[in-house]
Chains A and B, each alone.
Chain A
């Protein structure tokens, strides 16, 4: 397929893997930030191919996984209302809240619908003026522009029965938190290509300089990841710590200015709780005051809904790269995709789901 098969060429892949193995003088520890990258790595067996040259630690870039429990409980609370059509990306429907999930709310009679774009949710609101239509706005900087655009359009068109439950997070504060942690093991990052398509990479330059860590903006196809890993290993071998761009077909240093503008118009930086990680200051996006009428939390008075995050959850260790999914004592036994204990086992971007769905054969072989 055009624009895809050329990034999956087996011959080039093997040659890149050979270069990485011959360049690495020791086993380096790299973190891929984004869950989409984790899935390619595990699905294609890249970690297995490079086992002796690099250790891949899987990062926190799974929007479903880091959405806090209380935000899920708020979503469940709103979705159960008879006057509400609750819309969401498909990933969120199976994520466990304190007592239920959106699939169960739907089975109980709630009107929960999967949409492919927040603008589709806005369209539902325009077609059903008698209903309150709520969109669950989760994700990193990648989904923020479209979500911001939906709110901006709703205000332009005066669609008063539309609102968003916002749980947006941003990448650089999470990377800072990881690097500042005293037990950090990450020696280089593969930054998330699509986040950088929107935001560019200037935000990462001070991080690379302060923590003396190479950061390579990387795409999602097998050759993207192999090339990104090679660039990071080259920097580590030469003692450099710069921001480099592997994903040149999509990312420019300044990013996508119109997308940044619409984010800035609608959202502001707020402190945000990350599920499994905790509070990270100025790490999230919330609606600006001018758009408060579209804030589902205020509209439905659910700010009071709180949930206690369990103090010791291994999902947090996985999200911070301190534990590999299969090292968790519950992995594959008490915790499986159909009976998940934590969100990383549910989301298509979750590291536990990647290990479970693609890797069980390998971990079984490794034990044998």
Chain B
């Protein structure tokens, strides 16, 4: 056996992939590498390379944000929502995180032969309700049907277009040392809700997905503190930890979290304890991280708490000049640790 390492002679590495693995879809380092190594070399352009939640483009005299997202989830329906609500909220939220107001959506459906029409009806009805609540219009769409076994019930793609406001343009690279890191609500609910149904696990209380349209919260922040909002991010797959790492890297700053301040619902932490998961890496669909100028953080908190989605909003940490590009956490007992991005999905442990 040959080893690439001079000195230690451990089993050979297998980081060189010849096929797509599930971990490439985790939102962690494998996903990032897939983009950087496969897609960007061919598609790269100044707009795409920013890799924001949405792209910002100028068309005639108006500045628009455009975002696209594809939704695959098993089960299709879960406590708190279904794949249709996710498809609306996901794209509307991606636009909102750029400071854009979503106006129009497109929707593409890949339907699997054998999908119950009653199920499809429920998904479409929820989707329509979510769109109307978010004030977006679905203006064009597409359907394709594939043979049984070639898809998982239904896959949905939505693309959204939103209007930008030059006076309010939060972006990951705008995080500055001294800023406060806010979260709008308790973390980990979507990922655990979906997993509990999929794996048939029962916890002390049913966990509902947090899937929600975040634009009302963004509007409140905009009204209260305006451009003092430096970054907005919805920590979906990969969870809070991955979102904060992306911000720390984009802005070249460190982020220090306070473990005791992070709101984690009891059933989420119970489920995570049992499975050996860290709630910081569990997906959310209805909360956001806001990085706000320190002097405006109290006003921003008050604005978030005025909305039903934001009643549990808190400051969970701050942006620091030290350890640029890294997210660290002060533990309850006073130690510190790194909160890194995971390579792929979290794996349930042995014991």
Interface residues of chain A, those whose CB is within 8 Å of chain B, are 1, 4, 8, 10, 13-14, 17, 36, 42-46, 48-49, 63-64, 69, 89-94, 96-101, 103-104, 106-108, 114, 116, 138-140, 142-143, 194, 222, 308, 310-315, 328-330, 334-343, 348-349, 356-362, 364-365
Contact = CB atoms under 8 A, between A and B. Distances in A.
Given A94-B347, A348-B349, A107 B335 contact: no
B311 interface: no
B20 interface: yes
Given A310-B1, A338-B29, A43 B349 contact: no
Given A49-B334, A342-B11, A104 B19 contact: yes
A49 B337 CA distance: 12
B262 to A, nearest CB: 13
Interface stretch (B80-88, B206-214, B338-346): B338-346
A365 to B, nearest CB: 8
A310 B334 contact: no
A89 B348 contact: yes
B10 A143 contact: no
Nearest to A142: B351
Contacts of A330: 5, 7-8, 10
10 contacts: A103-B21, A104-B18, A108-B19, A143-B350, A310-B10, A315-B10, A335-B10, A337-B343, A341-B11, A360-B340
B333 A14 contact: yes
B296 interface: no
Interface stretch (B93-101, B126-134, B164-172, B324-332): B324-332
Given A116-B199, A340-B13, A360 B29 contact: no
A186 to B, nearest CB: 23
B273 interface: yes
Given A98-B11, A338-B343, 5 more contacts: A49-B335, A89-B348, A91-B347, A98-B12, A315-B10
Given A89-B350, A315-B10, A103 B333 contact: no
B351 A341 contact: no
A337 B342 contact: yes
Most buried by B among A63, A94, A138: A94
A44 B8 contact: no
A362 B336 contact: yes
B293 to A, nearest CB: 25
Most buried by B among A93, A143, A194, A341: A341
B273 A222 contact: no
A341 B337 contact: no
Most buried by B among A14, A69, A89: A89
A339 B350 contact: no
Nearest to A222: B333
Contacts of A143: 350-351
Nearest to B16: A339
A8 B350 contact: no
A44 B335 contact: yes
Interface string B160-203: 00000000000000000000000000000000000000010100
Interface string B26-61: 000110010000000000000000000000000000
Main secondary structure of the interface of B (DSSP, over half): loop
B337 A361 contact: yes
Given A49-B334, A97-B11, A313-B9, A364 B350 contact: no
Contacts of A106: 21-22
Contacts of A104: 14, 17-19, 21
A361 B326 contact: yes
Contacts of A89: 348-350
B269 interface: yes
B282 to A, nearest CB: 15
B326 A360 contact: yes
A94 B10 contact: no
A358 B340 CA distance: 7
Nearest 4 A/B pairs, CB to CB: A45-B335, A339-B15, A90-B347, A338-B343
Interface of B: 1, 3-5, 7-15, 17-23, 29-30, 33, 199, 201, 260, 266, 269-270, 273, 275-276, 323, 326, 328, 331-338, 340, 342-344, 347-351
Contacts of A315: 10
Given A4-B269, A339-B15, A342-B11, A45 B336 contact: yes
Contacts of B260: 10
Contacts of B7: 329-330
Contacts of B326: 360-361, 364
A339 B13 contact: yes
B78 to A, nearest CB: 19
A355 B336 CA distance: 12
Nearest to B267: A1
A46 B40 CA distance: 42
Contact of B14 (A100, A114, A360): A100
A163 to B, nearest CB: 19
Contact of B347 (A93, A314, A328, A360): A93
A329 B9 CA distance: 11
A251 B45 CA distance: 61
B203 to A, nearest CB: 11
A194 B350 CA distance: 12
B197 to A, nearest CB: 15
Given A45-B334, A106-B21, A341-B11, A90 B5 contact: no
Given A107-B21, A116-B348, A360 B10 contact: no
Given A63-B351, A116-B348, A361 B21 contact: no
Given A94-B344, A98-B11, A114-B348, A46 B335 contact: yes
Nearest to A12: B333
Contacts of A45: 331, 333-337
A359 B326 CA distance: 11
Contact of A43 (B270, B331, B350): B331
Contacts of B344: 94, 103, 338
A96 B276 contact: no
Contacts of A194: 351
Contacts of A138: 350
B10 A98 contact: no
B178 to A, nearest CB: 19
